[in-house]
Amino acid sequence: MTGINPAKDKKKAKITPMNTPQTVSETLALKAENLSKTVTSPEGMLTILDQVSLQVSVGERIAITGPSGAGKSTLLGLLAGLDLPTTGKVWLGGNELTALDEDGRAALRANEVGFVFQSFHLIPSLTALENVMLPLELANHAQPRRTAMQALENVGLGERAGHYPRQLSGGEKQRVAIARAYVIQPTVLFADEPTGNLDQQTGESVIDILFRMNREYGTTLVLVSHDLGLAKRCDCIIQMDAGQILTTKVQHAD
Ligand SMILES: Nc1ncnc2c1ncn2[C@@H]1O[C@H](COP(=O)(O)OP(=O)(O)OP(=O)(O)O)[C@@H](O)[C@H]1O
Ligand SMILES: [Mg+2]
């Protein structure tokens, strides 16, 4: 990525198969152990995530697929520390996320995690540029405006910097959300359907940005997607259904 100085000295990718037994170490970006999530619904208690375990090496690219309602967004939220599991543990790098309080999780997220929500979650009262500047300001970045502008230009939205979210199309909002997630150069970038609202050409340029981050800074990518082209570029495809991991396919990515 041009014009963005690495915030930190990122480790380059070291890919290890998901099933290799391993302790939490500096080669592991993410680890989840027996994650379950139970919610109360009008129909009673509902288990929406059921005993999910996985581990992701630093720099690895993971695609999570599965039908609507399979639990993909729920899993992503737990791995990123946005929500807590009913049972089970999550480690992000050497830190056990599930042992931290809300402030601790927020501090870790601010420095290490980028998240692209399925429904974008842009702040409506801020312009596209201000939305992208926000995580930089929270991280006390030296040049938030310039760096955010460069990130917007990278997703083809330099000319929309002053637009508020209501003045952007769905695909444009998605690209602002992606710029906001990657601008801090997170250790792990989670994206929930990052190409779901985009035409093929824009979708491919967004995927290129994510994979360029991975190549240049070793950013670990955890992507929920139905996009086969995207999944094929990943090191591992996790297939989910009914709150469980059905298969984990390690592959030679493009
Ligand atoms: N807070 C909640 N309370 C009750 N049920 C919930 C809650 N959050 C999620 N669910 C249910 O859990 C299931 C999994 O939801 P989730 O959003 O993780 O699915 P998903 O795989 O991301 O689906 P999609 O592809 O449609 O985005 C769904 O059936 C959903 O209705
Ligand atoms: Mg979802």
What does 49-86 look like in DSSP terms, one character per residue?
EEEEEEEEETT-EEEEE--TTSSHHHHHHHHTTSS--S
74 within ligand 1 shell (Cβ under 6 A):
yes
Q: How far is the CA of 68 from the centre of ligand 2 (A)?
A: 7
- From the alpha carbon of 224, which atom of ligand 1 is closest? 22
Number of domains in the chain: 1
Q: How far is the CA of 46 from the centre of ligand 1 (A)?
A: 10
Domain limits for position 109: 28-250
Which of 39, 49, 74, 79 most suits a substitution to test ligand 1, by most atoms within 8 Å of the C-beta?
Answer: 74
70 within ligand 1 shell (Cβ under 6 A):
yes
- From the alpha carbon of 70, which atom of ligand 1 is closest? 21
Residue nearest atom 1 of ligand 1, based on CA coordinates: 39
71 within ligand 1 shell (Cβ under 6 A):
yes
DSSP string, 88-115: EEEEETTEEGGGS-HHHHHHHHHHHEEE
- Residue 14 inside a domain? The answer is no
- Residue 1 inside a domain? The answer is no
- Phi and psi at 144, nearest 5°, equal -60, -40
Q: How far is the CA of 75 from the centre of ligand 1 (A)?
A: 10
- Report residue 8 as tokens: 């930190």
How many C-beta atoms lie closer than 10 Å to residue 139's C-beta?
A: 14
Q: How far is CA 9 from the centre of its chain?
A: 20
- Residue 56 inside a domain? The answer is yes
- Report residue 149 as tokens: 């502008």
- Residue 4 inside a domain? The answer is no
- Residue 57 inside a domain? The answer is yes
**Amino acid residing at 226:** H
Compute the Cα dihedral for 141, 28, 190, 225 and give only its sign: positive
Task: Give dist(CA 205, CA 208) in Å, integer.
Answer: 5
Quick one: pLDDT at residue 4?
37
Q: Is the pTM above the cut of 0.85?
A: yes
CB contact at 8 A, 31 and 220: no
Quick one: pLDDT at residue 213?
85
CATH number, domain containing residue 95: 3.40.50.300
Number of helices and strands in the chain (H, E): 7, 10
Longest dimension (CA), the chain: 52
Quick one: pLDDT at residue 254?
60
Write the burial class of residue 26 (CB in 10 Å: 0-12 exposed, 13-18 middle, 19+ buried).
Answer: exposed
23 within ligand 1 shell (Cβ under 6 A):
no
CB contact at 8 A, 207 and 233: yes
CB contact at 8 A, 202 and 178: no
**Residue 62: C-alpha distances to residues 47, 51, 82, 206 (Å):** 24, 19, 19, 16
Strand-pair category, 87-92 with 61-65:
unpaired
Q: Which numbered ligand comes closest to the C-alpha of 66? A: 1
Q: How far is the CA of 48 from the centre of ligand 1 (A)?
A: 7
Residue nearest atom 2 of ligand 1, based on CA coordinates: 39
- Listed in sequence order, the residues at least 6 apart from 189 whose beta carbon sits closer than 8 Å to its beta carbon are 113, 114, 115, 116, 181, 182, 210, 213, 219, 220, 221, 222
Quick one: pLDDT at residue 249?
93
**Amino acid residing at 29:** A
Q: How far is the CA of 151 from the centre of ligand 2 (A)?
A: 25
Per-residue pLDDT of the chain (254 residues; tens, 9 = 90+): 443 333 444 443 333 333 343 344 468 999 999 999 999 988 899 999 999 999 999 999 999 999 999 999 999 999 999 999 999 999 998 899 999 999 999 989 988 999 999 889 999 999 999 999 999 998 889 999 999 999 999 888 999 999 999 999 988 999 999 999 999 999 999 999 998 878 888 888 888 888 988 998 899 999 999 888 889 899 999 999 999 999 999 987 66
Quick one: pLDDT at residue 169?
92
- Residue 107 inside a domain? The answer is yes
40 within ligand 1 shell (Cβ under 6 A):
no
Q: How far is the CA of 69 from the centre of ligand 2 (A)?
A: 7
Q: How far is the CA of 71 from the centre of ligand 2 (A)?
A: 7
